Amino acid sequence: MQKITIFLASIIALAPFINSSFSKIYNLNIYIISALFVVLISLITVKIDKLRLNKYDLLLFLLLDLFFIILSINRDFYIFLSYQFLIFSLFILLFTYGKSRVNQFLNVPYQMILLYLFFIFISEYSGIIRNILTFSRAAVAGNVLGLSLIFNFGALVVYIKSFQENNRKLFFLAIFLSFISFIFFKTKGPIVALLISGILIRGISFKSITTISLGGLVLNHFSSLSIFRAQTEGASSVETRSRIYLESFNLFKNNFFNLNLIDERPFLFHNWILESYWRIGGLAIIYILLIAIFVFYYKYSLYFKWSGIYLLTCGLFSFEIETILFAFTIFSMLTILESNINKKALLNSE
């Protein structure tokens, strides 16, 4: 049941990035479906007796969620409520006391994630084929950036598993998943985020930087080929983002003490740090410091801490701030759980 719960939490974290696909293909709302699954599993498994986390874990998580509430309060009430309901429900589901084998390290069900990627491919099959043949992202029912993010999330999980088990087959599977995401969706942002995460996970060294740099050069070469380049109108994505960043800096000149909590964003920032600063001014520095503390404190987490970092890295290139921080907030819960379980398993093994 623990594997199913962890898989469910991971998929719900990625829900905003696939909601468009579910809505257009199946005429279903991913948030309602997610809530039903969480409630169903909670009714079966949850016994509210004791929380499986200490007061410091609880305080840090509550602060991260508080900032997420502040930064997403301007969303439609239905979306805002859905986010918080899912976060609260998963918190209860993940941290209520239950018997667990604390002598075993947390086993992330990457096979389930691969099955989920296969389900996405089957669902979007016709649109993916048209996008490959006609170079039109609009042929895909869902958001191509979001779908690429999910595929590269799967690649990240498999990549971590590969060096954890010293398994070359899994390493090449991770490369394959990332490569086909580029073929299917013709977007580079999530792949760049994956390459950056790969450097950070293995540690900054000459070998890791050289390997990842070669990967970046290969990606840049393929993206220059017409067969891999999506048809777009107007300026390129790099030019567009450069212009947006310049406009953002103009907004920030006198914004340190300003709050824009309920105001509509003047444009898509394509960068969660820039938008958080525009929304809450200097308070964004506190939020970034909390994230830094979170990253360095939970040293026994591997999969979900780096999944959260990967999401935040993706959010530096694109996506709305609410979707990125919703996913990160859920991955922060999974990070706390993974770190605590692995720490206990390590102590019991000594």
Q: What are the structural domain ranges in the chain?
A: 2-234+273-349
For residue 217, give every residue at least 6 positions away whose Cβ sits within 8 Å of its Cβ, in sequence order, or none: none
Averaging pLDDT over each range in 27-41, 101-115, 324-338, which range is the top one? 324-338
Question: In the chain, what percentage of residues exceed pLDDT 70?
Answer: 81
Angle subtended at Cα 196 by Cα 192 and Cα 197, rounded to the nearest 5 degrees:
115
Task: Say which range, 24-33, 46-55, 257-266, 278-287, has the weakest mean pLDDT.
Answer: 46-55
How far apart (Å, rounded) are the C-alpha atoms in residues 280 and 57?
24
What digits encode the pLDDT tens for the residues 294-320? 999 998 998 999 999 999 999 998 899
Read off the DSSP letter of residue 128. Answer: H
pLDDT single digits (tens) 133-147: 877 777 787 789 999
Compare 223 and 142 and report the one with higher pLDDT.
Answer: 142
Instruction: Please enumerate in sequence order all residues whose Cβ is within 8 A of that of 140, keeping only pairs 6 or more positions apart, or say none.
Output: 124, 127, 128, 130, 131, 147, 184, 185
Token pair recorded at residue 67: 């900032």
Q: Which residues contact 152 (CB under 8 A, 6 or more apart)?
A: 177, 178, 181, 190, 191, 193, 194, 310
226 has a pLDDT exceeding 60: no
Cα distance between residue 278 and residue 256, in whole Å: 8
Mean pLDDT score of the chain:
84
pLDDT of 187 reads 86
- ∠ CA 124-18-34 to the nearest 5 degrees? 120
Long-range CB pairs of 58-65, under 8 A, 24+ apart, other chains included: 60/290, 60/293, 60/294, 60/297, 60/336, 61/91, 61/332, 61/333, 61/336, 63/290, 64/287, 64/290, 64/291, 64/294, 64/328, 64/329, 64/332, 65/329
Q: pTM of the full predicted structure?
A: 0.89
For the chain, give the number of residues.
Answer: 350
pLDDT at residue 4, as a whole number:
82
More confident residue, 120 or 252: 120
Residue 187 neighbours by CB under 8 Å, 6+ apart: 137, 144, 145, 148, 230
Q: Report the alpha-carbon distance of residue 20 to residue 138 in Å, rounded.
A: 12
Give the start-end residues of each E strand in 148-302.
Answer: none
Tell whether the model's pLDDT for residue 162 goes beyond 80: yes
Give the pLDDT score at 211. Answer: 67
Q: 86 or 2: which carries more pLDDT confidence?
A: 86
Please give the residue that has the higher pLDDT: either 52 or 324: 324
- Give pLDDT, residue 287: 96
How do residues 182-212 score in pLDDT, each as one tens digit?
989 888 889 989 988 988 887 776 666 676 6
Query: What is the predicted pLDDT for the residue at 50?
Result: 65
Task: Kindly report, residue by residue over 56-84, the tens digit of the pLDDT.
Answer: 999 999 999 999 999 999 888 889 999 99
- Cα distance between the two ends of the chain: 27
Per-residue pLDDT tens digits for 80-106: 999 999 999 999 888 875 555 445 567
* SS3 labels along 43-112: HHHCCCCCECCCHHHHHHHHHHHHHHHHHHCCCCHHHHHHHHHHHHHHHHHHHECCCCCCCCCCCCCHHH
What digits encode the pLDDT tens for the residues 234-245?
455 666 667 776
Q: Which residue has the higher pLDDT, 246 or 237?
A: 246
